[in-house]
Amino acid sequence: MGAAPVPVPLRIDDPRQIAGYPLHARIGQGGMGTVYLSRTRGGQPIAVKLIRREYAGDPAFRERFSREVAAARRVSGYHVIPVVDHNADGEQPWLATRYVPGVPLDAALDAHAPLPLPTTLQLLACAATALHAVHTAGIVHRDVKPGNLLLTAEGPWLLDFGIARAAGTTTFTTKGRLVGSPRYMSPEHAMGRPVTPASDVFALGLLAAEAATGHHPYGRGNGLAIAARIAGTDREPPALDGVPEPLRAVVAGCLAAWPARRPSAAGLAELCAGAARQDVRDFTGWLPGPLAAEVTRVEQALAGLSAFAEAPTVRSLPATAPLTVTDSEAQPASEWARRVRRDVRPAP
């Protein structure tokens, strides 16, 4: 059974600060770059993503990155992890977002799938609400996938909107690297056609089906094989037999072959709220016990870092509160010189 990812110590070759933000730990690493845990002067935790050097050497990428991240900073709303700072002009571009301790949906599905129906309906409703905010700002996410949804005690959160667009996800590869996530592409994206907000809704439908059943609705295989099946969905629709009602009808609408037949993100949120027959904004006990324990372990790891032990917790902020980022002094990272212990004190 998989475990929730917790912050881990910096490596010898990791930077100790980025543009004045002290780095305290690694959060993760992906195709775009490495993510580090830092904080604002007020002690609020933030995640700083340092973009890979191969992207940094591409002037066209830098231009797109600056434009798309600037647009992403205009997005605000419930269940959206905001971008609070960025720089496209340095040796390596970077961006900073609010950090919320939680478990990425991909890790949750690896360890705990299928998820209960009420959890899946809340997940889909809140993710759709977040996407509505993104779409209202004129942005198409383009890379809605389990790794870009974070499950926390305060509900699910969407991240990395606009960043995939900066990488140029209109094709499968850029500089020999796989860009985007073929397993979660819409038919029009898989066929190289323009993507729209409806493409993001299709991806949410895929996530919901997988969360509810534990398997992808287009079957097994590598990403490109699944993308090929998705591209032919008008001839061979997805298998939704294992998706329980009333979720199945909602997912079927999201996975319509033609974009115009899919609900909007706002409409999808309303459909899920109606199907749930409960307040989808009440997150008391919304996660099953083992998954809630994984979230608690990540919270405890954050609380165990001396840089954050006495700082206000992220729960003290309203869901849409902006962060004021004014750090200008580099701080040593010696307080996180060893691995996170399992016996750190509980989060306040």
Q: Which residues are catalytic?
A: 143
- Is 145 annotated as a binding-site member? no
- Closest by CA to 27, choosing from 160, 166, 165, is 160
Here the tokens at position 132 are: 């509505």
Residue 236, Cβ density class (10 Å: 0-12 exposed, 13-18 middle, ≥19 buried): exposed
Specify which residues 95 forms β-bridges with. Answer: 49, 86
Beta bridge partners of 171: none
CA nearest 86: which of 100, 101, 96, 72?
Answer: 96
C-alpha gyration radius of the chain? 20
Contact yes or no for 57/161 (Cβ under 8 A):
no
Facing residues of 26 across strands?
8, 36
Query: Concatenated DSSP letters for 81-121?
Result: --EEEEESSSSS-EEEEE----EEHHHHHHHHPSPPHHHHH
| Helix residue ranges, H only, the chain | 53-56, 59-72, 105-112, 117-136, 163-166, 187-190, 197-213, 223-231, 247-254, 265-276, 289-303, 306-309
Q: Annotated binding site for ATP, which residues? A: 49
> Which residues are known binding-site members?
49
